[in-house]
Chains A and B, each alone.
Chain A
Amino acid sequence: MKYILNETPIKTTNNFRINNITVDLDIKETDFNDYSFSTTKDLDIKTEIKSDFNSKIGLERDKYLYVDITPKKRIDDLLIINYTFDSKNYLTSHININLDYDLNTIICFRGTGFLNFKLTVTSKENINSNISVVNLTSDQSTGLVSIENSVNTNSNIVTNYIDLRGKLRISNYYSELNSEKASSSFNTIYIGNKDERLDMNYYTKNNNKYTVSNMLFQGALLDNSYKSLKGTIDFIEGSSKSKGEENENCILLSENSKSRSLPMLLCHEEDVMGAHGMSSGKIDSQKLFYLMSKGISEEEAKRLIIKANFKIVLDNVLDENIKAEIEEIIDERIK
């Protein structure tokens, strides 16, 4: 069945087909007996099967696994949530985190299959939280990942999305900075290999005064891979003294890889500072020359430069084992 997904907040010319993505998907019902779900902490996590799934990506489903996390006190240890499923699986799940207290979380996906995941995070005042969504599913997987957050006064939510494998990957980020001095950062790493197709639609809305939004996208495209990245910072009227910045760095490692970008800056407020920067193309030849002059092979030098770019994001992933797992996949993918 054909679906039109990931619509941009504002439409632009149709020539480059960036306003949305049309995909042909054959989706089966989630088999709730055939995947594993585990957490490292007992946080009074409630799970139930619910219906009426929808996300900003635009794909609605009937039945899904709903997970509610509402910590009752400040949690110092990291919460790790693992999903593992196999090729028969079609998994639709929604994790809802209510941040009344600080909490750092990593959500990991492993296995092969069709993943349709949504994360919603709502913070109260004065919250600091770091959340990573790490998609480690195989290159035969399809992944639809939607992340939404709503940030309250004086709170800061850092979200990291690591998107390394999968033949079709559609992701969406929607952040609303609703109260004064709310801030959010969204950092992502993506790699495209073979014929993989990536569609990313990331949006931050500065809704109030003194809000700060940051988005950083670090990517590498190899072989025949193709990515379309839409990043929007929206300053609403009344968001005075707010700041917003988005930066993209996409390295093309093959002459057949293709990169589409739409870094939007929407502004309805006079007293704000908004900026976006984007660079695309091959690896900086001077950096490459420097490393090669130190006796490092071209291949290794390229890998080092890309990994250095990725490190800025990777350092936000708070578990060393998962970080090592990610690095191993990065090494394997940018050979």
Chain B
Amino acid sequence: MIFLILFLISFVQAQVQCAEGVFGLIRRIPLEKTPTYFIRVDTHARRIYMSGDCIVSLDTGKCISNTKTWEPYPISGKGWLTIPDCEGHDGAMCFFKSKDLESETRTKPVFTDKELKGYYQSIGFLNNNKKTSTVRVITYYGFFKDYRVSEDAIQPISSVQSFCAGKDLKLPMLSKDGKMISGWDVEKEKTFIAEINANGSCRDKFQFPYMVGKMDFSYDNRWMAFHASSDSNGKISDDLNLQQQIFVMDVKNKKTFKISSGKENIYYPHFGANGKMYALSQNRISNQYSVLEIDINKATQQSLASGYACSSCSKQQFQNLFSNNCSVLQKDEKVEVVK
């Protein structure tokens, strides 16, 4: 009888947890326009950037400007926006003043670097002072370059160099302090996190045996967020019910936490300089998109309390964690619940 009661309690808990949707959710910002998938949040400027013709208010989700941008990535806190391959500068990295672009007072870049080619740029602050900072910009071609940045000017301070030479990597993402890099190792077919030195050489920190979406580091380097796909059955069938949910890994101790579950797709997480995490959500029935603002500390605590976490997860544990069957982790003894 006692076992039956305990089973029923755990079953009910699992249902409640599944219904909860997103751990640590602070607010939902409905988007006025159907977005492209990469969102980049600048919490200083209170903007959400994405490709297209809509610069979005982080407060309202509405378009503040209809300026056309493509793959914009802000240098948060400095008022700059990087755009690769900008019109008329094939293959170059272009630097715009965010406010100029938004108000359309100046739609041409203030500075164009024809030396730094490639897309999928990400940015790390090698030092971040109030007046002047040093930032490193990397692109997926495997190149990086350093710049001195103030609110008024941007100046290259290094030549273009390659990083992680010899590694066939995809989806590289630089940490916000410019000291770590994550990506997909094509040859080994593993997701990796490496330390990146001043000269661009990389030293593997750890790997995990599962392909995930593009990762993003928090500003304090403690967390790394990503999405992963699964189908609802988690088994071979002709019915595809693709779900994408977000996960967070503690970079230091390699604990992985499931942050979202349920019927919505939650994907493309990105950290703000304010310590909060942001992610895109798609209601698959109404086809409405929102940006979610998430308290990362609450989210990981709630995930942990619900048993939605594993430490140095094996491939099987990742599969269980990524599964959309909410009760899997509750029932599967193989998953180590982090204490």
A and B form one complex: no
Chain A interface (Cβ within 8 Å of chain B)? none
